[in-house]
């Protein structure tokens, strides 16, 4: 079966749903099943958390250095300042993510509004 195997109007949507499920959700279910049997302090789970954190940091770094969309209209200094102040707000607030994200977003929006 391929994307072009059927001419029905619904076929591309069904293909995307099935292919998307096969590529992602099966691994998520397997992770939940196997992860439930691991201790939270196990070396394997610490490695998985470390890798997930590193991937998120890489995505954030990529967005800061090579922005797209509306973020591309901000200066590099503004993006660095927003990330740094968002991190400081996160630490000062007792490691509440919402506070850090809101602070960084507010600074970015203010910078866009003031044309920095």
Average pLDDT of the residues of the chain: 89
Q: How confident is the model over 5-31, as pLDDT tens digits?
A: 667 888 888 888 888 888 888 888 888
Q: Model's pTM, two decimal places? A: 0.65
For residues 10 and 58, which has the higher predicted lDDT (pLDDT)? 58
The confidence score (pLDDT) of residue 93 equals 97
DSSP at 22:
I
Contact 102, 76 (CB under 8 A): no
Contact 85, 102 (CB under 8 A): no
Contact 99, 89 (CB under 8 A): yes
In angstroms, the CA 102 to CA 96 distance is 10
The number of residues in the chain equals 116
């Amino acid at each position: 079966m391929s994307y072009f195997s059927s001419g029905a109007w619904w076929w591309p949507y069904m293909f995307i749903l099935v292919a998307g499920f096969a590529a992602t959700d099966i691994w998520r279910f397997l992770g939940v099943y196997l992860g439930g049997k691991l201790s939270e302090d196990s070396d394997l789970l610490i490695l998985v958390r470390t890798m997930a954190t590193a991937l998120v940091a890489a995505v954030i770094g990529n967005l800061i250095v090579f922005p797209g969309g509306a973020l591309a209209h901000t200066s590099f200094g503004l993006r660095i300042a927003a990330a740094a102040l968002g991190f400081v707000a996160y630490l000062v607030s007792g490691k509440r993510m919402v506070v850090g994200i809101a602070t960084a977003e507010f600074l970015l929006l203010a910078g866009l509004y003031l044309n920095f």
